[in-house]
Structure 1
Amino acid sequence: MSTKQAGAERRRTFTETARRAQIVDAAAQVMATEGYSGTSIARIASHLGISKGVITYHFRTKDEILRELVLRFFDEGWQHMEPAVDAATGARGKILAWVGSQLEFFSRHRTRFLATGEIMANHRGADGQLAFAEELDEEVTALSGIIVRGQQDGELREFDPRTIATLIVKTSSAVLETWAADPQTDLQAQSAALLDFIDHAIAKEKP
């Protein structure tokens, strides 16, 4: 959460904060079941059994609701991931902890993951570009930094760090997309297979 966001949170009353959270949770449930095009302030209000005016008192636009939904989910995800990444030893350990803890977090929050996926695939900013590209780029940049340190320490083999970081993010997303399409998918088994694949792909071969 940014300093600006944190300041806004402090200025809100407990009741206002709780109502905003309730609206965001309802938006996630509507988005997960109705899809992006089927989600509107009116549909969210109907889901909660309140008037549209109650929602627009807290959020001026649908865009504000969706941004808060996604950014809050990202923040909570990182709060779950950060201790695992920090505790891991070496670049290999940190990369595997990053991917593994991220998949674990998403698996525990299926509805919000489905909603976030819908938003990220369809929502566009004022410039017409897909929203949240900056947040995705930050993830690739952070993973690239871990890879560079691992290469400098002789732990990882030589390859372009940003290319591989991008592939790690995309393959993780592919596993999650399979699970999103079919809830019967054994996400735990697929996660284990992915982690094994990543480890073999990045590790430096022993002489």
Structure 2
Amino acid sequence: MAGKRPAPGSDGRPLSFIERKRREQLIEATIALVAEHGYAATSLARIAQAAGITKGAVLYHFPSKDAVVAAARTHVLDALVADVGAAVDAAPPGARPAAYVRRMVGYLTEHPDHARTLIEVLISGGRPDPAARREPFAALLQAAREARGLPPAADPRTPAVIAGGAIDAIVDARLQDPAYDSAAAAEALVTMLESTFLRT
């Protein structure tokens, strides 16, 4: 009996243009479905229906629901990291923590489907390593202190943890209430960081 055909790209060959576009379509459909209905209610059949193809066609590109959801999560994270990274890189070192806070809040409120997808994946057990988020921001805070001529902080992880929790809370408040002024909340967080951590 013949084995199952490997997913496109899994056998080492590059994806064709059509395969890349189909995968992108499936990822976008998955993001929209997870954001609207949650992880548990997003099935392969539902993904197929949203993409206008058969369930078998979905399985040609991804071996399981978890695989397509993982690809959607990676897509969302890559887009978030690229966007926030560009904003941080464009700022001078002393202003990079503020750029990070503003852009994290800005991106996630501008892309609520991405924010909801990340939340759903976390709830369903896809928790990333917290240090992967905390440590880069702690390094930005330390570099900002250095750029301002301040001595190194004993442990910049604490303000990084506090800021990460505040960003999550701001984005969640905006998701719950679209009238909530998340930009003003981001500015309040920047002011708090400036007054408590980035001054003598």
Task: Please give the TM-score of this superposition, normalised by the length of structure 2.
Answer: 0.85
Alignment of structure 1 residues 170-185 onto 2, 5 Å? 170-185=165-180
Gaps in structure 1 of 5+ consecutive residues? 1-6, 125-130
Q: How does 1:26-175 map to 2 (within 5 A)?
A: 26-91=29-94, 93-122=95-124, 124=125, 131-134=126-129, 136-152=130-146, 154-155=149-150, 158-175=153-170
> 1:146-186: per-residue Cα shift (whole Å, max 9, x none)?
23334455437745211221111111011001111222222
Quote the sequence identity (%): 26
Deviation at 1:121, TM superposition (A): 2.0
Q: Which residue of 1 aligns with 2:5?
A: none
Matched, 1:195 2:198: no
Unaligned ranges ≥5, structure 2: 1-8
**Whose Rg is larger?**
2
> Following the alignment from structure 2 to structure 1, what is the Cα–Cα distance between the partners of residues 107 and 84?
8
Between the aligned partners of 1:156 and 1:201, the Cα distance in structure 2 is 14
Distance 1:55 1:156, change over 3 A: farther
Letter in 2 for 1:65: V
How far is the alpha carbon of 1:203 from its aligned partner? 1.8
Deviation at 1:13, TM superposition (A): 0.7
Please give the alpha-carbon distance, in whole angstroms, between the structure 2 residues aligned to 1:198 and 1:156: 16
Letter in 1 for 2:108: F
- The correspondence of residues 18-33 of structure 1 with structure 2, limited to 5 A, is 18-33=21-36
Q: What amino acid is aligned across from residue 90 of structure 2 in structure 1?
A: A
Matched with 2:17 is 14
Write the deviation string for residues 67-112 of structure 1: whole angstroms up to 9, x where unpaired.
1111111111122122221222234x11111111122222221122
Asked if 2 retains the 8 angstrom alpha-carbon contact of 1:85 and 1:98, the reply is: yes
The whole-number CA distance in structure 2 between the counterparts of 1:204 and 1:191 is 19
Structure 1 runs of 4+ aligned residues shifted over 4 Å read 7-10
Secondary structure of 1:133's partner?
coil
RMSD: 2.2
Distance of 1:151 and 1:50 partners within structure 2: 53
Is the alpha carbon distance of 1:149 and 1:112 closer, same or farther for their aligned partners in structure 2, counting shifts above 3 Å? Answer: closer
Deviation, 1:194, is 2.1
Aligned residues: 190
Structure (1 or 2) with the greater helix fraction: 1
Shift of 1:52: 0.7
